[in-house]
Structure 1
Amino acid sequence: MVYPHLPEKVPQHFGSDGVDRYAGKSVASVFVPVFVHAGALALLAGTAFGTLRITPLSELPPGRQASSLVNRPKTAEGARRVARAQLFLGFCLGLTLAVACTVMWSTAPQKQGQQPTGTLVLALLPVALGTLAVVVTALRDRGHDPGRARPTAG
């Protein structure tokens, strides 16, 4: 709906000082964030699906060696947690790209460097949070011993 009203030059790159590069208005340049998110979300959904399909270490048949090329989750529950974290990262990437789209799809005239400097931080914060969730979840799974009870508060 906004596309016909966009200026002839649309923001294309965000630096620490705001928008620092523009491109001519075209469907490709305007909808890059949408295409990037669709591709990244498909990739993350595929890795989440693959994580759920890997046989966890706790379910390997006796005598079968675990390949060093596959980072297997220790348990099926650990695989589910990692898959959820991967999908959460996809959601966070969508939030990051939504911030970029609000800047790109603004119909108000903009000058180079006019965006507030907090835009870059606001845009990158969700991806940092999603990445942290994946790393923490994977590390917790690696450290979790299914034969050992977790300590409880009390």
Structure 2
Amino acid sequence: MGISELWQLVDRPRPSARSVKWLYLLCALIIGGAMAYVGMRWEDIPSRVPTHWGVDGPDDFAPKSISAVFMGSFVFIGTIVLMVVVTGFATYAMKQNESEAHPVDRRLQSALNRVLTAKMIAYISLALALITAVIQVCSALPQYQHVMDGMGLFIGVMILVLVVLVLLLWWASAQTRGLQQAIEKAQQAGRMPQGAEVEGVNDHYKFGLFYYNPEDPRITVERRFGIGIDFNYAHWQGKLFAAIIIGTVVACVALPFLLS
């Protein structure tokens, strides 16, 4: 039975990630617009541009250059590219759990998790794009630099990020609970078979957190704690994902020392 037919069994519309590409396009327009505006005002930028703000205002400067002026935007673009790659890899892995080889309830849960993951990352990227655009303009152009003084902008950014995360988690949790209730209702009505559980699933968690079971064909599994999904690290997709995360963390820690 196709995945579209399964959604009909639970009387829910099939989730779609079509809006994700438009969200990333909006991110590109926001950052591109901020960089273009600063570029058009290039003559207004002083010969030394602030690169760091403390409580009392800018406390570190660099000679005016493309890298110094647009460093924040370049970092954001690199971060978004990494997030898109990781998200694409994760959603591809989750899509493998939607094949007919898996129980129908897991197929639906995996399909929903795949869309939720893509949308949540896209909305977080949009929030970061707005923040980066404001910082890009205010840090480069003297007439706006007063916005960066003090802790007001920092506190505002933290509040915005927190609100976005809370709303996204609430939305994802509501979607997950709604699907689970719909699946249980369909199973009780006899429209869907009961899901099969993997025996001894708790015995396959390394350090109590990382699922590792070579005999389980699933590439992703429901998280042991909280909501969402995680990889089955016995498969190459999980190992690659772990390597990317570890490599990113190591690079972030080592980069400041390498550049100093």
TM over 0.5: yes
**Alpha carbon RMSD of aligned pairs, Å?**
3.6
Q: Which amino acid aligns with 2:101?
A: P
Where 2:184 maps in the other structure, the secondary structure is coil
| Contact 1:57 1:75 survives alignment (8 Å) | yes
State how many pairs are aligned. Answer: 141
- Alignment-derived partner of residue 128 in structure 1: 162
Q: Distance in 2 between matches of 1:140 and 1:16?
A: 40
| Contact 1:85 1:137 survives alignment (8 Å) | no
- Alignment-derived partner of residue 83 in structure 1: 118
Q: Distance in 2 between matches of 1:132 and 1:47?
A: 22
Residue in structure 2 matching 1:61, options 92, 101, 104 = 101
Could you say if the C-alpha distance between residues 110 and 93 of structure 1 is closer, same or farther in structure 2, counting changes exceeding 3 Å? closer
What is the TM-score of this pair, normalised by structure 1? 0.67
Where 2:120 maps in the other structure, the secondary structure is helix
Residue in structure 2 matching 1:148, options 178, 184, 202 = 184
> More displaced, 136-145 or 123-132?
136-145
Q: Distance in 1 between matches of 2:167 and 2:53?
A: 25
Cα displacement (A) at 1:125: 3.7
Where 1:21 maps in the other structure, the secondary structure is strand
Where 2:128 maps in the other structure, the secondary structure is helix
Question: Of Structure 1 and Structure 2, which has the larger fraction of its residues in helix?
Answer: 2
Q: Distance in 2 between matches of 1:27 and 1:58?
A: 46
Q: Distance in 2 between matches of 1:85 and 1:110?
A: 31
- Structure 2 runs not aligned, ≥5 long: 1-39, 186-260
Where 2:143 maps in the other structure, the secondary structure is coil
Q: Distance in 2 between matches of 1:44 and 1:101?
A: 20
Q: Which amino acid aligns with 2:133?
A: A
- Structure 1 runs not aligned, ≥5 long: 64-72, 150-154
Residue in structure 2 matching 1:2, options 17, 32, 41 = 41
Alignment of 1:50 with 2:86, yes or no, is no
Tell which structure's C-alpha radius of gyration is larger. 2
- Alignment-derived partner of residue 21 in structure 1: 60
Residue by residue, what CA displacement relative to the aligned partner does 1:64-96 show, whole Å, maximum 9, x if unpaired?
xxxxxxxxx933022102211101111111111
Q: Which amino acid aligns with 1:147?
A: I
Q: Distance in 2 between matches of 1:5 and 1:121?
A: 28
| Contact 1:8 1:25 survives alignment (8 Å) | yes
Report % sequence identity: 20
Alignment of 1:117 with 2:151, yes or no, is yes
What is the TM-score of this pair, normalised by structure 2? 0.44
